[in-house]
Amino acid sequence: MAPVLILLGPPGAGKGTQARMLEEDFGLIQLSTGDLLRAAVTAGTPAGRQAKAVMEAGALVSDDIVLAILKDRMIQPDVAKGIILDGFPRTAGQAAALDLLLAETGQKITAAISLEVDDAAMVGRVSGRHTCAACGEGYHDEFKRPAKAGVCDKCGGTEFKRRADDNAETVRGRLSAYHAQTAPLIAYYDSKGVLERINAMGPIADIRTALGQIVAGIAA
Ligand code: AMP
Q: What is the pLDDT along the chain (220 residues), one digit of tens a residue?
A: 889 999 999 999 999 999 999 999 999 999 999 999 999 999 999 999 999 999 999 999 999 999 999 999 999 999 999 999 999 999 999 999 999 999 998 999 999 999 999 999 999 999 999 999 999 898 999 988 999 999 999 999 999 999 989 998 999 999 999 999 999 999 999 999 999 999 999 999 999 999 999 999 886 5
Question: Ligand 1, from 6, 7, 60, 171: best to mutate by most atoms within 8 Å of Cβ?
Answer: 60
Of all protein residues, whose CA lies closest to atom 1 belonging to ligand 1? 34
Is residue 55 left, alpha or beta, with left meaning phi > 0 and alpha meaning psi from -120 to 50? alpha
> Which of 54, 91, 64 shows the shortest CA–CA distance to 170?
54
* Exposure of 134 in the CB half-sphere (CA atoms within 13 A): 10
CA distances from 190 to 119, 126, 154, 196 (A): 21, 27, 36, 8
> Which of 215, 190, 124 shows the shortest CA–CA distance to 207?
215
pTM beyond 0.85: yes
- Residue 145 annotated in active site: no
Q: What is the pLDDT of residue 219?
A: 62
How is the beta sheet containing 138-140 ordered, strand by strand?
138-140, 129-132, 160-161
Q: Quickly list H helices, 27-118.
A: 33-43, 46-56, 63-74, 92-104
Q: Tell me if the bond preceding 3 is cis, omega within 30° of 0.
A: no
Question: Ligand 1, from 17, 18, 32, 37: best to mutate by most atoms within 8 Å of Cβ?
Answer: 37
- Residue 15 annotated in active site: yes
Element (H, E) at 124: helix 119-127
Strands, DSSP E only, in the chain? 4-8, 29-32, 83-86, 111-116, 129-132, 138-140, 160-161, 195-199
- Residue 73 annotated in active site: no
90 lines ligand 1 (CB under 6 A): yes
